[in-house]
Amino acid sequence: MAPMQAVLTDIENKLSVVLKDNVKINSTTAVSGGSINQAYCLGTNQGKLMLKQNSKAAYPDMFACEALGLETIGDTRTIAVPQVILQSDFEDKSYLVMEWIESRRATEKGAERLGRKLARMHKHSHSAFGFNSDNYMGSMRQFNQKHETWSAFFVEQRLQPMVKAAIDKNKLNLTDLKNFELLYQKLNNLFDQEAPSLIHGDLWSGNYLIATNETPYLIDPAVSYGNREFDIAMTTLFGGFSPRFYEAYQETFPLNADWRQRIDLWNLYPLLLHLNLFGLSYLGQVRDALESYI
């Protein structure tokens, strides 16, 4: 395992090339990075930077996927994302160096800006549901093969892989599998068709920041072109979004009047992910959500 100092030396050397200036890391301060990555605030002679690192073997190309997702969102020029400065590997480690964002607790102004800017991002569309490459949702691979319809994409690229993983781990049984098969047959009639929207894909309260100037930033994306209700549904799963966020979104790009009826439907995917990663405490939520739509 590469020692931390060796990783930091590699980062210094590569940053010096990228920034065309000698970079010296003076301090490393651990910050929250979730259950997958180790995250640090790097104090450098060029200012603060964000470092995320993990195992190259355990999570191949994870940071390349994250960098591409941030670039895709950033290219819309609708909502801010941290600038990716360097993505590389060193021995058994992968790492990602980004702009450091000084953040604050969300105010009503910040929540309003987040809602409006997310709505504008969702207006960016594509000819198909999916993405040009697979990526990650949490620590699990997320498949993005393109489909003409959201129902086919949601079943084949989202639900079926998670259900199979849960069956293989004995976290779902054959009755659950039959119930999911019933849902697959009904799904296309449960929502109104819309053009694909660029979605963040993992939009819970830990995946946005409000900067000190109240500019909202999206972080840790799991992007694809999908049904925008998916992003909005996930904001309700673990809380952390102000009513003003939803009001501002609706003022900018109104959702279908009955969108709340499908919150549990779209949240089946992140709930299945949590079932697979964190265990049977999520089984009841999965079954309750599933049974309400079959």
The catalytic site residues sit at 202
Q: Where is 44: in which H helix or E strand?
A: strand 38-44
Helix 268-278 crosses helix 160-168 at what angle (to 10 degrees)?
30
How far apart are alpha carbons 279 and 274 in whole angstroms?
A: 7
Residues 6+ apart with CB under 8 A from 191: 150, 151, 227, 229, 256, 262, 265
How far apart are alpha carbons 45 and 22 in whole angstroms?
A: 9
Residue with tokens 């102004």: 109
Residues 6+ apart with CB under 8 A from 102: 211, 212
Q: Quick count: other Cβ atoms within 10 Å of Cβ 1?
A: 9
Q: For residue 267, how many C-alpha atoms fall within 13 Å in the half-sphere facing its CB?
A: 23
Q: Please compute Rg for the chain using Cα positions.
A: 20
Tokens of 85: 């400065």
Give me the helices (H) in the chain, please.
4-19, 62-75, 108-122, 150-153, 160-168, 174-186, 228-235, 243-252, 263-266, 268-278, 283-291
Residues 6+ apart with CB under 8 A from 197: 121, 122, 123, 124, 125, 225, 226, 227, 228
